[in-house]
Amino acid sequence: MLYSSIKATLVFLLVFALNYAQIAPGLAGANHKKVRVAFVGIKFEEMPKDVQERILERVREAIESQAGLQFIKPAEAEKALGPEKIAAFFNQPDSAAFRALIDGLQADFLIAGRIANQSRDPKRILLVGEISRFDRATNLFHKFEILKYYDNFGVELVKFKQEYVETMNPTATSGKQKWVWLVLGGVTIAGIVAMTLSSIKAGAEGEGSPAPIRRRNRGRENG
C-alpha cells in the first residue's frame, strides 16, 4: 500500500516537471528584458547603389531576425539623433563617437560599418572594410573585418551573425529552468530507490516465509 502511494506521488511529480519544462522557456522569454541593438548603417565607398542597398538589407536582416533583441533601424536612429550627428559619426567613428551615439539611443549595443570596393576588375566587386559592434556595458568595440568578393559576401554574413549577433542574446538558464531539472533528477533517483527497496522487501518476504506443510493421511494399521 505504501509503495503504491509513493509510486503515484513520483508519477505526479514527474508529469508536472515535464510539463513545466515545456512552458518555462516561454515564460522566461516573456519576462526577460530585451536587449536594445541599434544599427546606424554602413558608409560605402566606390560602390554601386544597388549593391549598397542589398548589403544594408542583408546586414539588417541578420540582426533583426535574432530573437530576444529590440532592433533600432538606421532610419529610426537618424530620426532620433538627426542626420548631421550620424554623418559626423561616420567621419570619425572612434570609441568616443560610438559612446555618444549609444548613449543618445539608450541602446545596449551599437553596430556600424565602413566598406569600400577595391576591385580593379570593373566586373567584380571586392569588399574591404569592417562592421563594428560597440558594447555599452564594457565600453569596448569589436571589429569584424571583411575581405571578400561580393559574390561570397553571404559567407562573411554567416560568420558575422554567429560571432557578433548571436552573442548579444541574454545567456542564462533561469532559476526556474534549473529547478525543473533538479526535480526531474530527484524524481528519477527517488523512483530508483523506491523500486529497489520494494524489490528487496519482496525478496525478503519470499525467503522468510515458511514452506507449506503437507499433511499425509496415514492409513490405519491393521491390528
**Segments forming the whole domain that contains residue 196:** 2-29+174-202
Domain count, the chain: 2
> Which pLDDT belongs to residue 211?
52
Distance from CA of residue 222 to its chain's centroid? 96
77 and 178 inside one domain: no
> Which pLDDT belongs to residue 34?
85
From start to end of the chain, where are the E strands? 35-45, 69-72, 109-117, 126-135, 140-149
95 and 188 inside one domain: no
Query: pLDDT class for 169, splitting at 50, 70, 90?
Result: confident
Query: pLDDT class for 163, splitting at 50, 70, 90?
Result: very high
> Which pLDDT belongs to residue 32?
57
101-135 pLDDT, tens per residue? 999 999 999 999 999 999 999 999 999 999 999 99
Higher pLDDT, 124 or 190: 124
114 and 155 inside one domain: yes
153 and 69 inside one domain: yes
40 and 143 inside one domain: yes
Q: Is residue 212 part of a domain?
A: no
Distance CA 26, CA 129 (A): 39
Q: 10 Å Cβ neighbour count for 201?
A: 12
> Which residues on neighbouring strands pair with residue 44, listed in sequence order?
115
Say which CATH number the domain at 121 has. Answer: 3.40.50
Q: 10 Å Cβ neighbour count for 167?
A: 13
95 near 141, Cβ under 8 Å? yes
